[in-house]
Amino acid sequence: MMVKFISTLIALILSASGIFQGSSVLGDTKDRVITVPILLYHNISDTNSDDSRYTVTIDNFTDQMEQLRYWGYSTISVKQLVDHIKKGHSLPPRPVVITFDDGYLDVYTNAFPIMEKYGYTGTVYIVANRLKSDGFLHEGELETLLDHGWEVGSHGMTHTELTQNHALVRQEILQSRLDLEDALETRISSFAYPFGSVDWYVSNKVIDYGYQAGVSVGHILFHSSGTVDNLSRREVLGDADLEAFGDLLPWTNYYVPAPRRKYIPQ
Ligand SMILES: [Zn+2]
């Protein structure tokens, strides 16, 4: 009775102090639930003749990054998110994951320099058989992004909708990872489902074929060990103004993270 009372008291003090916020049971990764918005972009470009939902203009993208900075967001990769969920690695305050699907060249020419200005990094999902195609990111650009802290993931071999093509999962999911790893000499640890289309069979294959995570499309902001094979991303649409952009995010008030304390007086 007394032991139970004391342990309850300790749990209450810990939770009130906020030390173990987001982790309801110490050391148990199953219960680590974290709120992190994962944003999804495709093109960042001023050549959007058909008002595509997939293209955000350079000005709008710049405003969005500036607004994220004002709100105190720090970017993390999908890998960092999964390492937090599975291993308890620490995250900065107000983390956000910025992802780009399909591997368009304008991610390098337009998004990358803007994000560099704000100290931000992204995760880019590459269709493996487009690695040498015009208008898409090639090895050289991807290596530069990797050198600047970006993550590269697979978006399949040919951008095939896998729920309709279970027979192709080995080629699309496994072979695309092996090809990208060969080309870039880096570990590819997450997979973006083409068209955001995923079912139980496909998400299981992503884990079976050696990935740590799969990302899809949806609205959920909190993630746990039970969702790493199907992490929900919120799409930033081409016509989104700053208000609509803010609606995608959990924290939208001015915030400056406290600087790290370098000197502690004795
Ligand atoms: Zn795609």
pLDDT at 266: 64
Report CA(4)–ligand 1 centroid distance (Å): 52
Using the mean position of ligand 1's atoms as its centre, give its distance from the Cα of residue 131 in Å.
14
Q: What is the distance in A from the centroid of ligand 1 to the CA of 123?
A: 14
Going from the Cα of 235 to the center of ligand 1, the distance in angstroms, rounded, reads 12
Residue 252 Cα to ligand 1 middle (Å): 28
Cα 89–Cα 103–Cα 146 angle in degrees, nearest 5: 45
How close is the Cα of 114 to the center of ligand 1, in Å?
Answer: 22
Q: How far is the CA of 158 from the centre of ligand 1 (A)?
A: 10
Please state which of the ranges 22-26, 27-31, 204-208 shows the lowest mean pLDDT.
Answer: 22-26
* Residue 237: φ, ψ to 5°: -80, 155
pLDDT at 31: 66
Using one digit for the tens of pLDDT, what is the confidence trace for 111-130? 999 999 999 999 999 999 99
How far apart are the CA of 52 and the centre of ligand 1, in A? Answer: 14
- Which pLDDT score is estimated for 52? 86
Distance CA 177, CA 171 (A): 9
- pLDDT, tens only, 243-262: 999 999 999 998 887 766 66
- Cα(169) to centroid(ligand 1), Å: 16
- Residue 51, class by beta-carbon neighbours within 10 Å (0-12 exposed, 13-18 middle, 19+ buried)? exposed
CA of 199 to the centre of ligand 1 (A): 16
Q: How far is the CA of 161 from the centre of ligand 1 (A)?
A: 9
Beta bridge mates, 153: 125
**Is the per-residue pLDDT at 202 higher than 60?**
yes
102 alpha carbon to ligand 1 midpoint, in Å?
Answer: 5
Whether the per-residue pLDDT at 108 is higher than 60: the answer is yes
Q: Find the 194 Cα to ligand 1 centroid distance in Å.
A: 5
Choosing among 3.20.20.370, 3.40.50.1950, 3.40.980.10, 3.40.50.1980, the CATH entry for 34-247 is 3.20.20.370
CA of 68 to the centre of ligand 1 (A): 24
- Output the CA 192–ligand 1 centroid distance in Å: 8
Residues near 23 by Cβ (< 8 Å), separated by ≥ 6?
31, 32, 88
- Ligand 1 geometric centre to CA of 76 (Å): 21
CA angle 69, 229, 181 (to 5 degrees): 80
